[in-house]
């Protein structure tokens, strides 16, 4: 049993129920405290059967996997409210959520980058020939719908709903981590058209990868090397140093702190880090999740409060890969970033960043932290 599994069992049966959509995909309903989920829902849409997975191609130059999902070209793109697939069904319109009202719903993506099949993928050896056909892009992609309201964002959620969303992310982390072949679970939110979202309705996503992603692999290797050399966790020492310095701190609670990283890559970037070493959201206690929901929500409000219009961002939950060594060394943390460098200017990943992975940031971390501290959350 994964650490934290018992905590996630606190979602009682009347607040958590699995239903199925017309093509067999799971749709999991979650309710706020004091609410209940529907016992029966029926998706009557004439959906085609689910297709085969896309392909995984191994880049022999970098040693990294690339998913090719041509079927995603036909996915819904920025529809008007009356055609939004994440709004409740009703008034003669059928959506991805076959209910007239809901609190939070998670469903398998209709246009997944990974899945629906599960399983292990081979690790190509040095000098191996290209396979006759790409490996199936096994894994799972889920959509997390925060609210039945079409407008708004995570920052607009009340305390209870923010807490439900955090509980859902923890529960899904535990469930997806137990699936065959999964090596890493990544919850995230792309917010704003400038980031590239295809649906305006407030939502996030979760990818369950059949491999460890390049960024997670580099971070885990670094954390493991540090633990072996010092006997301490890298993120724990970074957090201690940020507390001692203070110039990059943004918020501090009993269980979590928020700071702008010393070597921030983006003009707006903040890390939300637990004081206790935990590998993922599933390992958090109930008290920790209570505080996390509010700090996370308030941090997104600070990002929005910097300008007169909502700030586009990527909210990335860095969780340890699913190996014992990585989980011992790697600490959960949230990385919230935005390319917005001024009210009317965005930072684009140009030659140095895109081709070389060498970031150049126009804004010092200390300046960003001071601006965020100055915004009332």
Any idea which residues carry the catalytic annotation?
A: 203
Please answer whether residues 347 and 267 qualify as being in contact, where contact means their C-beta atoms are separated by less than 8 angstroms: yes
What is the token pair recorded at 237?
């020492």
Helix (H, G, I), strand (E, B) or coil at 94: coil
Please answer whether residues 66 and 57 qualify as being in contact, where contact means their C-beta atoms are separated by less than 8 angstroms: yes
- Could you give phi then psi for residue 163, rounded to 5 degrees? -65, -40
- The DSSP result for 28-63, as a single string, is EEE--TT----S-------PPPP----EEEEETTTT
Nearest-angstrom CA–CA distance, 126 and 234? 31
Please answer whether residues 313 and 335 qualify as being in contact, where contact means their C-beta atoms are separated by less than 8 angstroms: no
Give the chain's end-to-end CA distance (angstroms, integer). 37
What is the token pair recorded at 86?
């994440």
Nearest-angstrom CA–CA distance, 14 and 34? 10
What is the token pair recorded at 238?
């970074």
Nearest-angstrom CA–CA distance, 79 and 57? 31
Nearest-angstrom CA–CA distance, 83 and 36? 27
Nearest-angstrom CA–CA distance, 288 and 300? 18
Residues shown for the chain = 377
Element (DSSP H or E) covering residue 169:
helix 159-177
Nearest-angstrom CA–CA distance, 264 and 260? 7
- Could you give phi then psi for residue 75, rounded to 5 degrees? -70, 160
Helix-helix angle 234-245:214-230, to 10 degrees: 80
């Amino acid at each position: 049993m994964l650490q934290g599994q018992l905590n996630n069992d606190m979602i009682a049966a009347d607040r958590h129920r699995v239903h199925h959509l017309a093509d067999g995909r799971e749709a999991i309903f979650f309710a706020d405290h004091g609410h209940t989920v529907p016992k029966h829902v029926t998706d009557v849409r004439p959906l085609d059967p689910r297709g085969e997975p896309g392909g995984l191609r191994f880049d022999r130059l970098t040693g990294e996997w690339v998913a090719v999902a041509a079927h995603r070209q036909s996915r819904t793109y920025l529809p008007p409210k009356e055609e939004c697939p994440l709004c409740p069904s009703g008034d003669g319109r059928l959506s991805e959520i076959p209910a007239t009202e809901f609190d939070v719903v998670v469903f398998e993506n209709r246009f997944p980058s990974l899945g629906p099949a599960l399983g292990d993928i081979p690790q190509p050896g040095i000098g191996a020939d290209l396979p006759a056909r790409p490996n199936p892009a096994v894994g799972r992609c889920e959509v997390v719908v925060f609210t039945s309201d079409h407008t708004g964002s995570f920052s607009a959620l009340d305390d209870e709903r923010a807490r439900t969303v955090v509980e859902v992310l923890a529960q899904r982390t535990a469930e997806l981590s137990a699936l065959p072949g999964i090596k890493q679970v990544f919850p995230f939110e792309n917010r704003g058209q400038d980031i590239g979202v295809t649906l305006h309705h407030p939502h996030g996503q979760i990818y369950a990868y059949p491999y460890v992603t390049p960024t997670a692999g580099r971070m885990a290797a670094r954390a493991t090397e540090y633990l072996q050399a010092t006997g301490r966790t890298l993120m724990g020492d970074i957090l201690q140093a940020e507390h001692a310095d203070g110039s990059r701190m943004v918020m501090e609670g009993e269980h979590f702190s928020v700071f702008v990283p010393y070597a921030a890559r983006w003009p707006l970037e903040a890390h939300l880090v637990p004081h206790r070493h935990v590998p993922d959201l599933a390992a958090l206690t109930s008290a920790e999740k209570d505080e996390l929901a509010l700090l996370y929500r308030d941090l997104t409000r600070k990002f929005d409060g910097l300008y007169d219009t909502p700030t586009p961002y990527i909210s990335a939950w860095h969780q340890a890969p699913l190996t014992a060594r990585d989980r011992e060394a790697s600490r959960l943390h949230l990385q919230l970033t935005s390319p917005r460098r001024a009210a009317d200017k965005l930072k684009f990943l140009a030659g140095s960043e895109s081709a070389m992975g060498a970031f150049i940031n126009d804004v010092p971390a200390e300046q960003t932290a001071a601006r965020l501290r100055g915004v009332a959350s």
